[in-house]
């Protein structure tokens, strides 16, 4: 699995967009970029994933650079409930793939 690098922490004002960067410069062609988040003392929650194209769902948008060496998770209108640790993971996916969690980014949404 490719190694990912994320900032340790970020702050965002409530109602504003939160842009969380992730560097995965060694990602291989068949590896997806996955984003999960973990609210304190809860199990992680899947957010979104992508391979090459930008993706959007009801929770967030994922912007992947053309060279695929980095990506940005965008929460368009952050709320206090979005305060969590966000994990960016690069993996080839497939059935029963193993998630390797790094340290992630602690996003704090401030009122």
Choose which of 10, 63, 102, 108 interacts with other proteins (CB under 8 A).
102
Site string for other proteins, 28-67 (x = CB under 8 A): ----x-x-x-x--xxxxxx--x------------------
Q: String of b and e for 56-71 (b: at least 16 CB within 10 Å)?
A: eeeebbbbbeeebebb
Minimum CB distance to other proteins smaller for 42 or for 53: 42
Choose which of 18, 104, 107, 109 interacts with other proteins (CB under 8 A).
104
DSSP 60-84: -EEEE-TTSSEEEEEETT--GGG-E
């Amino acid at each position: 699995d490719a190694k990912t690098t994320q900032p340790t922490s970020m702050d965002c004002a409530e109602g504003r967009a939160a842009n969380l960067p992730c560097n995965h410069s060694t990602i291989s062609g068949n590896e997806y970029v996955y984003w999960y988040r973990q609210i304190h003392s809860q199990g992680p929650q899947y957010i979104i994933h992508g391979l090459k194209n930008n993706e959007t769902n009801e929770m967030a948008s994922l912007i992947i650079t053309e060279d695929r060496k980095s990506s940005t998770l965008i929460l368009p209108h952050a709320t206090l409930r979005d305060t969590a640790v966000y994990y960016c993971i690069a993996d080839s996916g497939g059935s029963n793939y193993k998630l390797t969690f790094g340290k992630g980014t602690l996003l704090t949404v401030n009122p």
